[in-house]
Structure 1
Amino acid sequence: MTKLFRPENRRWSIIAVIFIAIVFNYVDRQVVSILKPVLKNEFQLDDSGYAVIINVFTICYALMYPVTGWMVDRFGAKVVMFYGVLTWSIACIGGGFARSVGQLAFFRGLLGAAEPTNFPSQLKVVAIWFPGKLRATANSLCVAGSSIGAIIAPPLVAWLAIQYSWQTAFIVLGAVGLVIAVLWKLVYQDPPAHIMQEAVQDETAAVDQPVPVAAFSWKQLWTTKSLWGVLLIRFVSDPVWYFCLFWLPGYLQEQSGLSLAQVGMFGWIPFLVADLGAIGTSAWSDRLVKKGYAPLRARKLMLTVTACFAPLCALAPYLPNAASTLAVFSIVAVACLSWLFTVSVVVAEAFPVKNVASVLGIAGGFGALGAVLFNSFVGSLMGTVGADKVFLAMAVLHPIAILILWTMIKKEQPKNKSLISKTNQL
């Protein structure tokens, strides 16, 4: 039992809990998209009204992402993630008791405000618990929970709604989150000194600096070119993934003719393919590093190749059936998830360890902001100018992100000793 909780083993237990938390983070956010036709009928909504509900969530998500990133760097992953999981679980339960559009919007907004705690916490844990030789693997195992959540959400939510009621789906999933919060409280500990030293030493060895590790202040982060590059990448590429999460299940029902039960049976396929594909592309980039490529260059090469498949979404309005739509979006989802997986690794490699949560938080906020604007675009145009224009707009977003990746992202280090962090706060 003592051996099980040695730090070298405990860190994998921590990764397991984070994985479970991310799974249900994504299940909770997808409840509305899977139940879109049911909720539109229940609350008398059209596509524009549905877009408002989605945007309430996404705006709160965008606003709180940078805040939670700063909170994780300031107060640590243990506290921030515990209260985040607790709050979003209560919000999900509250959605099941909503009796008006306003009440539903309030609880979705609360969900959006709490859910960003997950990913800055996850990246911080990976950065301080794992050395460089294990960091990409640990990150991939964590973030894989997002697509696993997207995989299990359609059958699970559909079954709960059909077997019981749509309200039950919200309440049961929120209750699971409460259990996860307790589990996190029991399992997580900050790393002991030798584990932290091992993780930080990889970072300092590359730049021949002694510990303590150099770090940018919040204000100084905004002067780095790479921060703006990461922000723009998330801003233009995240909306395609958000479409897969929030609009694809409804699109399959309203445009491809699938029933809610059929979405539960088949709607998970693109997300399973995305998960397997994104893990495979992450492994490919690791192999490039082993062959001698600089880590940052290896990530850029992999992301460039995968992004070339994202424009296939432009074919969606012209496909003959739901099976072909699922096939195309399976490929597109691989590109989207590969970027979500690896942009986080790029952040961890491009910035000092004490800044990674803040950078990811700021970037995640910009990605969600891009999704807000795109959701409004989709909601207003899907039923007017046609889906073909929406998919054509989506097709150019990842190619734009490629240009930003190669022109703006580089290794960032503070240039003078005055920027050395004076705190060991995790």
Structure 2
Amino acid sequence: MIHRHRALIVTIFALSLSVTALDRNLLAAVWPILQAQLHVTNAQYGTIVAGFSIAYGVCAPVSGLLVDRFGFTRVAVIALALWSAFGIATAFALNFHALIACRILLGCAESASLPAVAKVYATYLSPPERSMGTAATQIALTIGAVSATLLAGGLTTKYGWQSTFLVAGILGLLWIPLWLWMSATPRNEAQVLLSQSAERGIKRLLREPGLWALVIASLLLMPLYSLWTNWTTVYLVRERGLSTTAANLHFAWIPPILAMLGGISGGWFAMQAARKGTPVQNARFNVCFWAALGLLLTATIPVLPGAGWATAAIGMSFFCTLCISINIYAMALDLFGTSHASFVFSLLTASYGLMQTVISPLIGSWVDHHSFDAVCFLGALSPLCGIAILYGAIFRRVEPEHTPV
């Protein structure tokens, strides 16, 4: 079991991701209202998401190097203060150009979040515990995502959409003193874990085929994560005929809850298999493989009757996506150790940001003229392609007795 002191440190730091998810998901939750007030299109929404994503993706490797060089406390505190300020500034953005500027700046600042958390996990958690650590990431992200939909549903009608961004920014600033207090506690256990990892040069790291297999696999998996993070409310309003308030209060908060359960389940199954003797990496791969098969059901979402069934299927798609995602990120920590944990995570983060940069305008433009049917179909197929790449680049080289089943 994870020692109580280390678990508390990991939990408090993971809460910074709740603030990240809150800021990130608020725009999706209030978009149908913004669309009407500012007279903008879904294609422009896709462009805004792309602006955030390219800033996030380009800045992530730099953020990862900064975390590895200066430590997670300094970088995370500065980054969180900045992204809270940019989130608050969004409340005063009254046109498309101001919105995209705020989101680009938000993406730059938020790019430090996952690399910093990766350093915390690699520092404080042993290898068998890391899948549960990355599951804690999804719990924190889910808290933020659910809070975004409920905050939008509860405040927008009464106080305007601007109030949601103001509240989110203030909550982010309140996290800073909490972490500064916790970071002053003794780190003896962390130093022991840190000493177990060998140093590895950046140039050598970049020549590792396993690293790029993880990046490509993540590229093929995460379109579904991007889809359900940014487009669930839009889907329910456009395809299922709900109002924005009804979509947020009654349905859109459910898929993130199931995503959280997927993250916990994926981490738990991998950890239990490892404790029973399955090599850790093989245990993670097995979870990824079965979850990718489950994601084929994503293609059925457009033909399901009613918003309730569609929401349940979106939730299960999100569940399986997170089963894979948390294990891919844990694989990165297992394979490449503590010394460059933030940089490795930052490459995965960058791949997500750049992927989202490409697909978001395409989804927006397609949805403006067609429907979500083709989007769901393609999203259902891409994760299996990623799993095949993982198997070919990493696991096919494992000895026969350790081959994943």
Deviation at 1:72, TM superposition (A): 0.9
CA distance in 2, matches of 1:57, 1:316: 27
Deviates more, 1:263-272 or 1:345-354: 263-272
Return closer, same or farther for 1:409/1:65 CA change in 2, 3 Å cut-off.
farther
2:20: which partner in 1? 25
User: Does 1:332 find its partner at 2:327?
Assistant: no
CA distance in 2, matches of 1:116, 1:250: 25
**1:306-325 residue pairs with structure 2 within 5 A?**
306-325=291-310
Deviation at 1:116, TM superposition (A): 1.9
2:339 to 322, 345, 354: 354
Deviates more, 1:241-250 or 1:215-224: 215-224
CA distance in 2, matches of 1:273, 1:48: 28
SS at structure 2 position matched to 1:309: helix
**1:10-159 residue pairs with structure 2 within 5 A?**
10-159=5-154
The answer to whether the 8 A contact 2:142-2:260 is kept is yes
Return closer, same or farther for 1:100/1:386 CA change in 2, 3 Å cut-off.
closer
Return closer, same or farther for 1:272/1:68 CA change in 2, 3 Å cut-off.
same
User: Does 1:304 find its partner at 2:289?
Assistant: yes
Letter in 1 for 2:187: P
Deviates more, 1:124-133 or 1:330-339: 124-133
Q: Structure 1, residues 88-127: CA drift from partner, whole Å, max 9, x if none? A: 1001100001122111111111111111211111111111
2:174: which partner in 1? 179
SS at structure 1 position matched to 2:94: coil
Deviation at 1:410, TM superposition (A): 6.2
The answer to whether the 8 A contact 1:15-1:142 is kept is no
What TM-score, normalized by structure 1, do the two folds share?
A: 0.88
The answer to whether the 8 A contact 2:75-2:116 is kept is yes
The answer to whether the 8 A contact 2:274-2:280 is kept is yes
**1:240-319 residue pairs with structure 2 within 5 A?**
240-263=224-247, 264-319=249-304
Letter in 2 for 1:192: R
CA distance in 2, matches of 1:131, 1:386: 45
Gaps of 5+ in 2: 398-405
Return closer, same or farther for 1:138/1:191 CA change in 2, 3 Å cut-off.
farther
The answer to whether the 8 A contact 2:266-2:324 is kept is no
CA distance in 2, matches of 1:374, 1:120: 23
Gaps of 5+ in 1: 1-7, 202-212, 413-426
Deviation at 1:388, TM superposition (A): 1.7
1:345: which partner in 2? 330
CA distance in 1, matches of 2:317, 2:189: 42
The answer to whether the 8 A contact 1:93-1:174 is kept is yes
2:349: which partner in 1? 364
Q: Structure 1, residues 171-225: CA drift from partner, whole Å, max 9, x if none? A: 1111110111222222224863553224543xxxxxxxxxxx4322222221100
Letter in 2 for 1:127: A
Q: Which has the higher helix share?
A: 2
User: Does 1:222 find its partner at 2:206?
Assistant: yes
Deviation at 1:148, TM superposition (A): 2.2
Letter in 2 for 1:223: R
1:4: which partner in 2? none
Q: Structure 1, residues 309-340: CA drift from partner, whole Å, max 9, x if none? A: 11222122222211111011111001111222
Matched-pair identity in %:
25
CA distance in 1, matches of 2:137, 2:312: 26
Return closer, same or farther for 1:411/1:132 CA change in 2, 3 Å cut-off.
farther
Q: Structure 1, residues 4-38: CA drift from partner, whole Å, max 9, x if none? A: xxxx6543332222232111211110111111111
Aligned residues, how many? 395
2:216 to 210, 232, 236: 232
Deviation at 1:73, TM superposition (A): 0.9
Letter in 2 for 1:340: S
Return closer, same or farther for 1:119/1:169 CA change in 2, 3 Å cut-off.
same
Q: Structure 1, residues 71-98: CA drift from partner, whole Å, max 9, x if none? A: 1111110111101111110011000011
Deviates more, 1:141-150 or 1:121-130: 141-150
